[in-house]
Amino acid sequence: MTGPINRRGFIKKSGLAALTAAIGTNIVYANHLPEGFRPVIFDEKNALAGKSPELIIRGERPWNVESLPHLLDERVTSAKNMFIRNNGLSPEKIDLQNWKLTIDGESVRATKSYTLADLKKRFKQYTYQLVLECGGNGRSGYQPQTSGNQWDQGAVHCAEWTGVRLKDVLKDVGIKEDAVYIGYHSADAHLSKDPAKEAISRGVPIAKALEDETLIAWKLNGEDIPAIHGFPLRLVVGGWPASTSGKWLERISIRNKVHDGAKMTGHSYRVPRNPVVPGESIPETDEFYKIIESMPVKSLITYPKTGAIVKPETKIDLRGHAWAGDLKVTKMEVSIDFGATWQECELEAPANRLAWQHWKTTVQLPQKGYYEVWARATDEKNVAQPMVIPTWNPGGYINNACERIAMKAE
């Protein structure tokens, strides 16, 4: 938008009509808007510009914003409905012309850098639908409450990403036989703004890095990745905690050991190797903790919204998505009698490996009263979602208990 905003980025009074049209509603008290200001929705630093107004803000510094199950009813998640999980502050400036991706580390033959143009020109491009889910999705279900954002079930999405395979770039660079792990480094600033500190620098084992679907991406659903989601370049690693998909990607280090960057130690994105008593504190060492890798089997009911009121004995459409980290979902079921009996659903194959799978069915509520619809997915290793909250862990990670919605027949 350029017309109603002058070269200093301020609004022109004469442009208010255009801005009103762009927002899609009246600007209340527009006559009081100072000449030197513009609505914050048009501030490029505003993470929620273009986002659904129904999203839940879990935190503003850094931005952590949750979607809702009914907003995730789309087969491919739109940018406006995607959750936001940041660990640091978004880059203040993006120099697109000079942006480079550098591959370095103990296990590369020689350090090498690529411009965006290099990546787009020299390597074949691929497009995949990939599930990215925060490792703490569902954290609010744990008792006692753990630290971290109290996500419900909306910190997940399955969008379409376009870019080049990381393995093709690593082949061009040349990696040594002792390569064990990759670690990403990004342009977001630590909350302290100390340049010596990284907000987050995570990674995955080299085998995961070399999978076909692990991308260095620059497009989301066919458009440039939105700023808050990592423009101009992002690592996308489907099926594992979304924290492994580094935004604002500048550098990837090929390590001869498990990457030890920010948020790779302590209990960050790690769970106890053995069950612990709820609320118990254990030493934050490798002896007691393991890194979360493939996410567990899980599902969502995206239609209808919880709280729906229906007529008894009428057919009610139910639908949603299911996913299982690196695996496929092989069975999807729902129950309306608190798990006493289960009804199998129609389950689609994924659009590609690591995409979520759509499911649907119909149910009938036999008489007036309150009901809950429970949803349960089972993966190809015959592991099903538990009907109760899984074993408690200090970080509140990987809660994959059955999804539930409330319904009333009257």
pLDDT tens per residue across span 227-276: 999 999 999 999 999 999 999 999 999 999 999 999 999 999 999 999 99
Per-residue pLDDT tens for 387-408?
999 999 999 999 999 999 999 9
Among 57-61, 173-177, 180-184, 344-348, name the one with the lowest average pLDDT: 57-61
Residue 36 has pLDDT above 60, yes or no: no
Looking at the fold, whether 272 and 317 belong to one and the same domain comes out as: no
Asked whether residue 70 is domain-assigned, the answer is: no
- Tell me what pLDDT residue 44 has: 39
Asked whether residue 222 is domain-assigned, the answer is: yes
Q: Which of 410, 404, 408 is nearest to 370 (CA)?
A: 408
Mean of pLDDT values over 142-167: 96
Looking at the fold, whether 203 and 245 belong to one and the same domain comes out as: yes
Total structural domains within the chain: 3
Can you give the CATH number for the domain in which 135 is found? 3.90.420.10
Looking at the fold, whether 196 and 266 belong to one and the same domain comes out as: yes
Mean of pLDDT values over 209-223: 98
In sequence order, the 6+-apart residues with CB closer than 8 A to the CB of 363 are 315, 316, 318, 334, 336, 343, 373
Looking at the fold, whether 178 and 317 belong to one and the same domain comes out as: no
Per-residue pLDDT tens for 307-326?
999 999 999 999 999 999 99
Looking at the fold, whether 305 and 281 belong to one and the same domain comes out as: no
Looking at the fold, whether 121 and 265 belong to one and the same domain comes out as: yes
- Tell me what pLDDT residue 6 has: 34
Can you give the CATH number for the domain in which 336 is found? 2.60.40.650
Per-residue pLDDT tens for 339-348?
999 999 999 9
Looking at the fold, whether 286 and 304 belong to one and the same domain comes out as: no
Looking at the fold, whether 341 and 367 belong to one and the same domain comes out as: yes
Burial call 114-137: b when 16+ CB within 10 Å, e when fewer: bebebbeeebeebebbbbbbbbbb
Q: What is the pTM of this model?
A: 0.88
- Residue 33's pLDDT band, with cuts at 50, 70 and 90, is low
Among 32-46, 87-101, 299-313, name the one with the lowest average pLDDT: 32-46
Asked whether residue 88 is domain-assigned, the answer is: no
Domain range for 349 is 298-409
- Report cis status (omega within 30 of 0) of the bond before 304: yes
Asked whether residue 68 is domain-assigned, the answer is: no
Asked whether residue 385 is domain-assigned, the answer is: yes
Looking at the fold, whether 257 and 332 belong to one and the same domain comes out as: no
Per-residue pLDDT tens for 344-369?
999 999 999 999 999 999 999 999 99
End residue of a domain, out of 274, 291, 308: 291
Among 34-43, 258-267, 325-334, 363-372, name the one with the lowest average pLDDT: 34-43
- Residue 49's pLDDT band, with cuts at 50, 70 and 90, is confident
Looking at the fold, whether 211 and 316 belong to one and the same domain comes out as: no
- Residue 297's pLDDT band, with cuts at 50, 70 and 90, is very high
Looking at the fold, whether 222 and 256 belong to one and the same domain comes out as: yes
Task: Put the strands of the sheet holding 63-66 in their side by side order.
Answer: 56-60, 63-66, 84-85
- Give the chain as a 3 state SS string: CCCCECCCCCECHHHHHHHHHHHCCCCCCHHHCCCCCCCHHHCCCCCCCCCCCCCEEEEECCEEEECCHHHHHCCCCCHHHCCEECCCECCCCCCHHHCEEEEECCCECCCEEEEHHHHHHHCCEEEEEEEEECCCCCHHHCCCCCCCCCCCCCCEEEEEEEEEEHHHHHHHHCECCCCCEEEEEECCECCCCCCCCECCCCCCEHHHHCCCCCEEEEEECCEECCHHHCCCCEEECCCCEHHHCCCCEEEEEEECCCCCCCCCCCCCCEEECCCCCCCCCCCCCCCCEEECCCCCCEEEEEECCCCEEECCCCCEEEEEEEEECCECEEEEEEECCCCCCCEECEECCCCCCCCCEEEEEEECCCCCEEEEEEEEEEECCCCECCCCCCCCCCCCCCCCCCEEEEEEEC
Asked whether residue 240 is domain-assigned, the answer is: yes
**Cβ 294 vs Cβ 269: under 8 Å:** no
Asked whether residue 81 is domain-assigned, the answer is: no
Among 19-33, 119-133, 349-363, name the one with the lowest average pLDDT: 19-33
Residue 110 has pLDDT above 50, yes or no: yes
Looking at the fold, whether 119 and 233 belong to one and the same domain comes out as: yes
- Tell me what pLDDT residue 194 has: 96
What percent of the chain shows pLDDT beyond 90?
Answer: 84
End residue of a domain, out of 291, 312, 328: 291
- Tell me what pLDDT residue 3 has: 36
Asked whether residue 72 is domain-assigned, the answer is: no
Rounded CA separation 294/292 (Å): 7
